[in-house]
Amino acid sequence: MTRSVTRTLTQRRVLALILLLLLVAVFPYLYTWPFFGAFLNPFRTFQATRFGLWLIILLGLQLLTGYSGQISLGHAALVAVGAYVAAVLMNDGFMGQDVPVAVAVLAAGLFTAALAFLLGAPALRLSGPYLAIATLALIIALPQMLKLESFSFAGQEIHANIARWTGGVEGLLLDRPRAPGSLEGMVTERQWLYYEVMVPAVIMTFMAWNITRSRIGRAFVAIRDTEVGAEQMGVNLALYKMTAFGLSGLYAGVGGGLFAYTEAFMSPDSFEVVKSITMLVAVVLGGMASIIGTVFGALFMAFQNEMVDAFSGLIPSVGFLEGYLPTTESDFQRLRGAFYSIPLIIFIIFAPGGVAGLIRQVGGAAPTWWQAGRLRVTGLAALAGQVRARWRAGPDRTDPVDQPQDSDEEKQA
């Protein structure tokens, strides 16, 4: 499963990336155009917003579990922290001042990052299944903690009114987000929400992508593959593990803050066990240690209800099995867990690389003309350089100016 950390960027990929960014930028307005109106609508914009939200949250888990190998079943706990920090800041303000959304979300991210960094310290002593147990216990206990009002100890009533911040069992209702007045009439509420989520999502995706190809990312992978070996090579285990936790906390906090902002309602049960496990499932299904895989994972999270609904017509009702087969839509919604855990187990056994791994395998068998334009680059600067080189080369030159011959071998490595 070990893979080289450096990726290759082909010119086609650069072009595809630019087109993709353009698509992301105009997506919420596409449905007003004649052709796209047939299959896009404002609700799709909202779903795309959800996708961006999940992308941010899952990237944090990907960095922690996929790259660093620290199994966390309690990622939703970090999301909850970010969500509540942002919600409290947006609702009550800070020291009598109103807090702008961006500041609240950023503060939620930084606070959660700091908390997760510190939580990483005890986690240093836990490895593999032990960490999984501890984080599972955390997420099962979390709703209780969030609903806590007071407890007694040694006959004394102790007030620890966490429910005051979290709204307790009833949950917390936030104001619906609105576009600033100067943009009145230009964007609808849903479109504004989309940009508020997509801009950080795109930035943080590139950030994660660059982290994984940097010194930090290589240290993460080294720790995952062999902890002792990494230590021998001079990787500071404590620092990098805590960094992994801190980074995942940053993503979870920003994601949680945006969650509070977009959903406008949450309760301690928004962050329950099955949802937390589903996050890990999504990362694994999409593809471990892969940013593209995380994108697939986020798609899965955003569209899982629709996918399950799409399957619901497929099983015919057989007379003598009446009542023993799932046929209605509500049957399928209840069976949702089974519908993704069975593919999950099949994936783990036959294709541990997830969807991204499958695509990579298929890509390895791609025709040579597809592999021809590969260029090795590191970082965004090189991306810009490539675009420029491509531009200068003019339309009649299909091959780039400087193309290393050994790039194909590198792909095999």
Partner 1 sequence: MGEFIQTVATGLSMGSVYAIIAVAIVLIYRSTGVMNFAQGEMAMFGTFIAWSMISYFSAWSLPLDMNYWLPFFLAVLIAGLMGAAVERIVLRPVEEAPVLSSVIVTLGLFTMFNSIAVWRYGGIAKPFPSPSVFEGSALSVGPVVISRLNIGVFAVSLLVMLILYVFLNYTKVGLAMRAAAQNRAACRMVGVPAGRMLTMGWALSAAVGAVAGMLVAPIVFLSPNMMFAALMFAFAGAVLGGLQSLPGAIVGGLLLGVIQNAAGTYIGSEIDVTVAFVVIVLVLLVRPAGLLGHRVVRRV
Binding interface with partner 1 (CB under 8 A)? 1, 65, 69, 71, 73, 122, 125-126, 128-130, 132-134, 136-138, 140-141, 144-145, 147-148, 150-155, 226, 228-229, 273-274, 277-278, 280-281, 284, 288, 326, 331, 334-342, 344-345, 348-349, 352
DSSP 3-state assignment of 322?
coil
Q: Smaller CB distance to partner 1: residue 53 or 288?
A: 288
Asked if 282 contacts 301 with a C-beta cutoff of 8 angstroms, the reply is: yes
CA–CA separation, 159 and 156 (whole Å): 10
Cβ proximity to partner 1, 42 vs 168, nearer residue: 168
Backbone phi, psi, residue 37, to 5° = -60, -20
For the bound state, the minimum distance from the C-beta of residue 206 to partner 1, rounded and expressed in Å, comes to 26
Q: Which is nearer to partner 1, 160 or 380 (CB)?
A: 160
CB atoms within 10 A of CB 15: 14
Q: How far is the CB of 246 from partner 1 (least distance, A)?
A: 19
**Nearer Cβ to partner 1 (25/345):** 345
Paired tokens of 59:
């990237």
Q: Are 294 and 59 in contact (CB under 8 A)?
A: yes
Which residue type does 384 have?
A: A
Q: How far is the CB of 402 from partner 1 (least distance, A)?
A: 40
Smallest gap, in angstroms, from Cβ of residue 41 to partner 1? 30
Output 187 or 344, the one with its CB closest to partner 1: 344
CB of 165 to partner 1, least distance (A): 17
Whose Cβ is closer to partner 1: residue 5's or residue 134's? 134
The CA-atom distances, in angstroms, between 66 and each of 46, 58, 225, 238, 379 are: 28, 10, 11, 18, 21
> Strand 8-10 vs strand 374-376: parallel, antiparallel, or unpaired?
antiparallel
Minimum Å gap between C-beta 212 and partner 1 is 17
DSSP annotation of 152 reads: E
Six token digits for residue 127: 């490895």
